[in-house]
Amino acid sequence: MQKLYAPWRDEYVKGERIEGCVFCHISKHTDDESLGVLYRDEHCFVVMNRYPYSPGHFMIIPHFHTDSLEELDSNVWLHMTALAQKGVAMLKNELNAKGVNIGMNLGAVGGAGIAEHIHLHLVPRWMGDTNFITTIGETRVYSVDFDEIYKKLLKVSKQYFCSN
């Protein structure tokens, strides 16, 4: 049997738990680098997924706490989709993603890991980026370190998200 070494997961297992909504915590605290925030404005913030489906996976999250898309102000939703367009360009240009999955899981029954606060996922994809190990071994293999990807995207994020 092969062993996969993933020391960055240690933080998840032993790490300090945030009381309440993790997304509201990120919204209210401005230590962006320690939180993995790539961008924030008055409506939303863009944060790297600490436990991604693939390297570079990030989320666009409204500051407004709701579990209901239909309760979200339409202007905030339109702003989120505009940020998604810019985020797709960033993933394609900076990480050479050949495709991007975009989606929301609404509610625990809909598959949301954090069901109490809606969020839009952007997951970069490459040809052959998944294989049997995810299905059979319930394991994901990442070829790049989280911090390396975060720093790379952080360096260019303002040119994407702040542009018209």
Instruction: Give the pLDDT confidence of 143-162 residue by residue, as tens digits.
Output: 667 788 888 888 888 888 88
- Report the C-alpha gap between 61 and 51 in whole angstroms: 16
Beta strands in the chain (DSSP E): 37-40, 44-48, 58-62, 99-103, 120-125
Q: Does some domain include residue 57?
A: yes
Task: Determine the Cα–Cα distance for residues 163 and 145; give it in Å rounded to an integer.
Answer: 28
The answer to whether the beta carbons of residues 65 and 125 sit under 8 Å apart is no
Active site residue 119: yes
Asked whether residue 94 carries a pLDDT value surpassing 50, the answer given is yes
Whether 21 contacts 12, CB under 8 Å: no
pLDDT for the residue 152: 87
Catalytic residue among 43, 57, 119, 121: 119
- CA angle (56, 60, 62) in 5-degree steps: 160
CB 18 within 8 A of CB 25: yes
Residue 110 φ/ψ, nearest 5 degrees? -80, 0
pLDDT of residue 21: 92
pLDDT confidence of residue 139: 52
pLDDT at 66 over 60: yes
The predicted structure's pLDDT at residue 35: 93
Q: What is the structure's pLDDT at 8? A: 53
Range of the domain at 33: 7-161
Would you say residue 31 lies in a domain? yes
Q: What is the pLDDT of residue 141?
A: 53
CB atoms within 10 A of CB 151: 11
Alpha-carbon gap, residue 142 to 91, rounded angstroms: 16
pLDDT at res. 132: 44
Q: Which residue has the higher pLDDT, 7 or 134?
A: 7
Instruction: Report the mean per-residue pLDDT for the chain.
Output: 84
Q: 2-50, pLDDT tens digit by residue?
A: 555 555 555 555 566 778 899 999 999 988 998 999 999 999 999 998 8
pTM (two decimals): 0.78
For residue 2, tell me if it sits in a domain.
no
Residue 143 lies in a domain: yes
* pLDDT of amino acid 1: 52
Q: Within a domain: residue 109?
A: yes
Looking up residue 128, the CATH number of its domain turns out to be: 3.30.428.10
What are the pLDDT digits (tens) for 96-126?
A: 999 999 999 998 998 888 899 999 999 999 8
If one counts the domains in the chain, the total is 1
